[in-house]
Amino acid sequence: MQREYKKHGFFSFVPTDSRSRELWCLKHGESEINCVCRVLAVSRKEIRTAEDGEKVVLNGIIADHSAKITFVSWEERAELAMDTVVQIENAYVKKWKGLAALYIGKNASVIEKDVDFPSRAELMKPKQRTIEEIVGCEGAFDVMVEGDIVSVSRNEEKNKRVLDDGTGAVVLELREKEKEADILFGTQVKARGNVVESEIGYVLIAEKVKIKGGEFMIKEMKNFLCRYT
């Protein structure tokens, strides 16, 4: 069962074979995706293609109660405006920058919805997930993971840290390299960032890390979301 948003009553549970999907765990190669979501960020870019000449592409971030995901629209759509709740139909999923992204093609439709829905401020917060969940979904965008550093090794002049939460393990990569000395073997951490699949396995690219009982070791993610818009 999963949730379907309604005009009144906030949501109801519907069978998993419903045409509406949650954003969590969308995977590369899936198609005919229908979802209801809020637009958290959007930007407009002009590109030139051999087929269509100059055209506008929209990209940004959408979210529902389950997750955030990046999107790409191959057409300029007024409905895809900041903080608008929309129903997207017949989209598909492809990898973009190592993460699943929802592609809204020419055959897709986008309809503005007047429904009760979590606020933008609420949806901007990261969801805490287990590593087992993340790996099962082939990565994740802007999630929180909590666990212990169980291995620190040096390879090709780089420190490799492995974060284990009891359900699985990922390589922890810090954006601010000067902070690496503070995170040692046995350190308990809570990390926020993207988890992507790489040649060395799944990597948590951490924008923010908190050591249990300590101060934040990496600054607030001022530019985290705008990198994907």
Just give the CATH number of 126-228. 2.40.50.140
Q: How far apart are CA 174 and CA 177, in angstroms?
A: 6
Do 2-122 and 126-228 show the same overall fold?
yes
Paired residues of 46 in beta bridges = 56
What per-residue confidence (pLDDT) applies to 55?
Answer: 84
What per-residue confidence (pLDDT) applies to 9?
Answer: 44
Q: Where are the alpha helices (DSSP H) in 60-170?
A: 120-123, 131-136
Q: What is the pTM of this model?
A: 0.81
Provide the token pair at 150: 């169980």
Backbone angles phi, psi at 123, to 5 degrees: -75, -20
What per-residue confidence (pLDDT) applies to 213?
Answer: 57
Residues of the chain with pLDDT under 50: 1-2, 5, 7-17, 214-222
Just give the CATH number of 2-122. 2.40.50.140
Where are the strands (E) in the chain, listed by range?
2-5, 11-14, 33-49, 53-63, 68-73, 85-96, 99-104, 109-112, 127-128, 140-155, 158-164, 169-174, 188-198, 201-211
What per-residue confidence (pLDDT) applies to 117?
Answer: 96
Q: How far apart are CA 107 and CA 89, in angstroms?
A: 9
Give the contacts of 196 (CB within 8 A, at least 6 positions apart).
97, 98, 99, 139, 202, 203, 205
What are the domain boundaries of the chain? Answer: 2-122, 126-228
Give CA angle at 121 (59, 18), nearest 5°.
65
Q: What is the pLDDT of residues 140-192, one digit of tens each?
A: 999 999 999 999 987 766 789 999 999 999 999 998 776 787 888 999 999 99
